[in-house]
Amino acid sequence: MSELGSITPAFVRAELVPERAAPVKTTGFIGVMRGRLFNSPTNILLTIVGALLMYFTVVPTVKFLLVDAVWTGSNRTDCLAETLHRDVGACWPFVQAKASQFVYGFYPQPERWRVDLTFALAALLLLPLLIPRAPAKTLNAGLFFVAFPVLAFFLLHGGGLQGFMVSWTADLLSGLVGSLGEAGSELARGGALAVGIGKPVLWIATALSWLIAPLVWLRDWIAASGQPVWIDLGLTALIVTALVAVLTGLRNGGRPLLMTLATFIGIAVVIAWLRLDRGGLPIVGTRQWGGLLVTLVVSVTGIVASMPIGIALALGRRSTIPLIRLFSVGFIEFWRGVPLITVLFFATYMLPLFLPGNFTIDGLMRVLIGVALFAGAYNAEVVRGGLNAIPRGQAEAASALGLSYAKTTGLIVLPQALRHVIPGLVNSFIALFKDTSLVSIVALFDLLGQLRAAFADPTWSTPTTLFTGFAFTGLIYFVFCFGMSRYSLFVEHRLNAHRRT
């Protein structure tokens, strides 16, 4: 114990410990600069290179568009350096003078209120669909995807009605039976094998003509009446209401019957408002459409129509029925194997050659069909990727619970698959929106087509007019594409809430 008691400390510090250096600041502007831009020799080099690129690109762009730009003027002399005695940037008076042409194309001036009303109705119906908590989504979707295209057609194109569903059904069936009879007659004049096929076809066409004879008689009676549109609408309402009553009865408190009656009342209001029973609004041919109007019509129609086509093809490619699977594979590979320019040329100039008789399709409608089929083939592969990402166990569990294929696909598999492929779908939509500029090669003047037509005006022929016009249209395309991109991120973040960390 005495030895332990004599032990002394081995070390005793005689001075204070020096202060530690302050921690490196990681917040604020200086912290971000030090931590992300100048934290290593490689990042320092990349930062300097990026700053130089921005200096040589962004600064001249801002100077051209804003600093040296000309904001007022009435002709080309107001945008010339010789007149202003300084460097001249963007000639914005050119855009102001041609703004109506960029939006409406060659649409008649007195009728442009119809385009404005169509844009307003589209925004009014689309905005509630984009807001997650907006009420009555089903009704709003029905109005936007079903009622609005019909109303927009009569607003933009004009014209009236000569009948309604009864007359249209009779015309369609009689046309099909007539085409079938013509085909049978052609075959009957051929060889022995053709005659053997043609005679049964003629018998079938004759039998069908007798079956639809009452409907054709009813169509002729409606056409001979004083008010064919209203009489046909009334008969259609009675037939549809009777069918709904038979199929649904009084389930849900008769709500289907009330919805049916409300639909036909709305149709009657639109017919009376646009005077469709008396010729409607003056007809404006699609050749007079142009500018942003054509761009939005082609892009929105292509986006909306290509989604169900893509979903159907994706499901068909996974089908266990060989015929459906082979058709889907062949359709997808064919449309993905040809460029959009070829599709537009074929739809515009070759499609009318395959139509029977005097049946014709408007030039813009042919382009819309080609764009929808082309985009649908690409969307099909995107959707198929989402379907392949869903484990097979989910479909097997649904089958074990007794769900049918339609319910399993529509309620379990497809919603999850679409949620997985939101970025890919929106990427296809953005590409389609920009590809609408190709319609100018088939004599449809979209936004870029109207811009090129405006360059031919000698009143605004200046060295900067070309760059100003393309900068303006580029900003418009950027606004729409950036808006779709940001909204898709919002939807993706909202639908994947269960995966947030």
pLDDT band (50, 70, 90) for residue 117: very high
Can you state the angle between helices 165-188 and 213-224, rounded to 10 degrees? Answer: 130
- pLDDT band at residue 248, thresholds of 50, 70 and 90? confident
Spatial distance between the Cα atoms of 422 and 489, rounded to a whole number of angstroms: 9
Question: With 0-12 CB in 10 A as exposed, 13-18 as middle and 19+ as buried, what is 84?
Answer: middle
Output the CA angle 188-189-190, nearest 5 degrees.
Answer: 95
88 Cβ neighbours under 8 A, 6+ residues apart: 68, 70, 79, 80, 81, 462, 463, 464
Return the structure tokens found at 288. Answer: 């007079």
pLDDT tens readout for residues 416-443: 898 888 889 999 999 999 988 888 888 7
Among the residue ranges 83-87, 358-362, 405-409, the one predicted with the least confidence is: 358-362
Both tokens of 370, joined, read: 């080609």
For residue 7, is pLDDT > 80?
Answer: no
DSSP 19: P
Backbone angles phi, psi at 70, to 5 degrees: -100, 125
**431 SS3 class:** helix
Please name the residue that has the structure tokens 């870029």: 448
- Residue 345: pLDDT band by 50, 70, 90 thresholds? confident
Closest CA to 104 of 281, 283, 290, 288: 290
Q: What values do phi and psi take at 65, rounded to 5?
A: -80, -30
Q: Are 188 and 199 in contact (CB under 8 A)?
A: yes
Q: How far is CA 378 from the centre of its chain?
A: 14
Q: Running DSSP on this structure, what letter comes out for residue 443?
A: T
Residue-wise pLDDT for 388-410, tens only, equals: 888 888 888 888 888 888 888 88
Residue 362 to residues 46, 153, 167, 259, 368: CA-CA distances in angstroms? 54, 12, 21, 33, 10
pLDDT for the residue numbered 3 = 52
- Per-residue pLDDT band for 251 (boundaries 50, 70, 90) equals low
Residue type, 188: A
User: If you average pLDDT over every residue of the chain, what do you get?
Assistant: 84
